[in-house]
């Protein structure tokens, strides 16, 4: 399992109710069910990925996360997870607020756009950076946002959403190995992971 998902899994309490937005083939949900006896549900827009998750016996809905999340009542889940998908979200503010309506805690992870290699690429080539974490040209990327760790903190402050826990990591997109970055994470971390609480 990806290193960022390992970190997220370590934050989940046993027996929790979990909603995974953009769950792909359900690797995190399957791990949590097996290791922590969680009650998990996933939402995945890609039909093939959703089908593979369902074939594993997971409770996964094929649909749009904006539409499907509206159907859940307040505090239906202990955790709502959005892993490496925030870059593709049209309205992050609305989605984060919905996550924290249906879940007591939200967990968000994303590639850190201001990693030093991205900065150097832009400085020395003058081109939009490409990396293992952001492996697309500007014209064919599914990502519509670039997110520095420091700006996500500012975004949470703007929303009035408390950051319960955060960790910055250095790992490649699908690697199972990685390390926690504590020194200048906005410069040296490839991913940020945040646990968010329900504001006042």
Query: 3-state secondary structure string, 91-122?
Result: CHHHHHHHHHHHEEEEEEEEECCCCHHHHHHH
Which CATH class name applies to 3-112+146-197? Answer: alpha beta
Can you give the pLDDT at residue 117?
86
What is the SS3 assignment for 28?
helix
Integer Cα distance of 186 and 21 in angstroms: 25
Give the domain ranges of the chain: 3-112+146-197
Q: Which among 128, 31, 123 is positioned nearest to 81, based on CA atoms?
A: 31
Q: pLDDT by residue (tens digit) across 177-189?
A: 899 999 999 999 9
User: Cα(54)–Cα(57) distance, rounded to whole angstroms?
Assistant: 5
pLDDT, mean of residues 165-177 = 88
CA-based R_g, the chain, Å = 16
Residues 67 and 49: their CA atoms lie apart, in Å, by 18
For 38-97, the pLDDT digits (tens) are 999 999 999 999 999 999 999 999 999 999 999 999 999 999 999 999 998 989 999 999
pTM score of the predicted model:
0.93
């Amino acid at each position: 399992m990806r290193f960022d998902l390992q970190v997220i899994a370590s934050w989940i309490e046993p027996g929790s109710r979990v909603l995974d937005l953009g769950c792909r083939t359900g690797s995190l949900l399957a791990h949590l069910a097996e290791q922590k006896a969680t009650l998990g549900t996933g939402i995945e827009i890609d039909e093939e990925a959703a089908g593979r998750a369902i074939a594993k016996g997971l409770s996964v809905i094929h649909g749009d996360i904006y539409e499907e999340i509206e159907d859940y009542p307040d505090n239906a889940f202990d955790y709502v997870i959005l892993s490496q998908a925030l870059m593709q979200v049209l309205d992050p503010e609305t989605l984060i607020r919905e996550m924290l309506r249906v879940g007591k805690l939200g967990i968000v992870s994303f590639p850190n756009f201001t990693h030093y290699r991205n900065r150097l690429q832009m400085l020395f080539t003058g081109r939009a950076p490409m990396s293992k974490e952001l492996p697309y040209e500007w014209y064919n990327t599914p990502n519509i946002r670039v997110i520095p760790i420091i700006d996500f903190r500012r975004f949470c402050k703007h929303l009035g959403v408390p950051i319960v826990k955060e960790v910055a990591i250095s790992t490649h997109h699908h690697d199972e190995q990685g390390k926690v970055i504590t020194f200048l994470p906005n410069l040296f971390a490839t991913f940020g992971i945040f646990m968010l609480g329900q504001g006042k």
